[in-house]
Amino acid sequence: MINQTIYVLETSNGPVHLTITPVNSLLANGDFYATGVFKLTDGVVGMGEIVFDENMGDWTYNGMDELTYEEAAEVADFIKKYRDPIGADPEQLQ
């Protein structure tokens, strides 16, 4: 994932409109490196981060009870399956 995206998560308290923002690092040679860290926000409210291992297989959620394990697993699955649109530009996040 290069650019941020919105994911609507249905919870027992109603829908949550999560903005998922990938944390990408700019390398010295000008290339972007995907860190595997994804910040979650609901409007201006931080909802924690989902952090993947280097193979995007295992993940952890570090939010303070904002999401249940099942809800975080749904978001993590969405992130793993997400494909950026053609022409997505990581420099738009800078």
pLDDT tens, position by position, 2-52: 788 999 999 888 999 999 999 988 888 878 788 999 999 998 889 999 999
Q: What's the pLDDT score for residue 32? A: 79
pLDDT score, position 92: 56
CA dist., res. 38 & res. 63, Å (int):
12
Q: What is the dihedral of CA 81, 16, 49, 78, to 10 degrees?
A: -10
Which residues are CB-neighbours of 40 under 8 A, at least 6 positions away?
18, 19, 20, 21, 46, 47, 48, 49, 50, 63, 66, 67, 75
Its domain, for residue 87, covers 5-93
Mean of per-residue pLDDT scores for the chain: 87
Percent of the residues in the chain that have a pLDDT greater than 70, as a whole number: 90
